[in-house]
Structures are given as structure tokens and as C-alpha cells.
Structure 1
Amino acid sequence: MTIWDGLIWSGSAITVLGLIALGWCILTVIRARRSGASEEALRQTMRRVVAVNMAALCASVLGLMLVVLGIMLGK
């Protein structure tokens, strides 16, 4: 296994973690909407979810960049 293979696998792992976090965001918002909570409680939930959502998107993008970099440099 070369360093480029390691870059591809680590990028894939980071991307999967980001996708799992995105799934958590989706499920959290769905649960909050269905619970019938007050508007203020829903806003608090959304503030927390938006921060996690941005971090998850960033992780997914960085992971995919590592994968592409590993593929390009490994050939």
C-alpha cells in the first residue's frame, strides 16, 4: 500500500463520517418538526443543527478532495 492509497482511504473515511453527520442533521430536523415543539425550541434545534451541518459538509468536501488528490497523484 502506497501513501496515495492511504490518502484515498483516509479521504473516503472522512467523507463517510461527513455523510453520517449529514444524516444525523436530517433526522434531527425531522424529529424536531414532528414533535410539535414551540417555535423557539425549533429555532434552538436548528441553530445547533446548522453548525453541525456546515462542519459535515466541510468534512465531506475535504474528504473528496483527498480522494481526488490521491487518485491523481497515484497514477
Structure 2
Amino acid sequence: MGALIWGGVVLTLIGVGLLVYCIVAAMKARKLGGSDEDIRARLQKVVALNLVALLVSAMGLGAVTIGIILG
């Protein structure tokens, strides 16, 4: 069960790293400015990546939980 736990930890850290990237990208998009449509287009890409990051992080936390329960 150790592999399941460590695999989950890796997935969780990847998800958290992607979330940090999303935060930085969103702040950069707002800072660059431009028209409302330009900002909205940049933020829509960030939102899609944010959902993927949340999914990866949740899968990692689920794997850690299952590994702890089974171990």
C-alpha cells in the first residue's frame, strides 16, 4: 500500500503545483490588461486548467486515503 500512498502524494503535489500556476497566470492576465475580451479569453484557459488541477489533486488525495485505509 506504500506505492498507492506515495503515488497519491505525487498526484496531489502535481495538482497543487498546477493550482499555484493557475493563480499566477490569472494574476498575470489581470495585470497585462487589454480589452475585456482578451482578459476573458486568457482567464477561460486558466479556468480549464484549474479544473484539471483540482481533479488531479482530488484523485491524489483519494489514493492516499484508500492507501491508508487498506494499509
**Shorter-normalised TM range:** over 0.9
Segments of structure 1 that go 5 or more residues without pairing to the other structure are none
1:8 paired residue number: 5
1:11 shift after superposition = 0.3
1:50 paired residue number: 47
Count of aligned pairs between the two proteins: 71
1:64 shift after superposition = 0.2
TM-score (norm 1): 0.91
Equivalent AA in structure 1 for residue 59 of structure 2: L
Highest Rg: 1 or 2? 1
Q: 1:60 aligns with which of 49, 57, 62?
A: 57
1:19 paired residue number: 16
Equivalent AA in structure 1 for residue 16 of structure 2: L
Q: Secondary structure at 2:41's aligned position in 1?
A: helix
Deviation beyond 3 Å, 4+ runs, structure 1:
none
Identity %: 41
TM-score (norm 2): 0.96
Matched, 1:41 2:38: yes
Matched, 1:72 2:69: yes
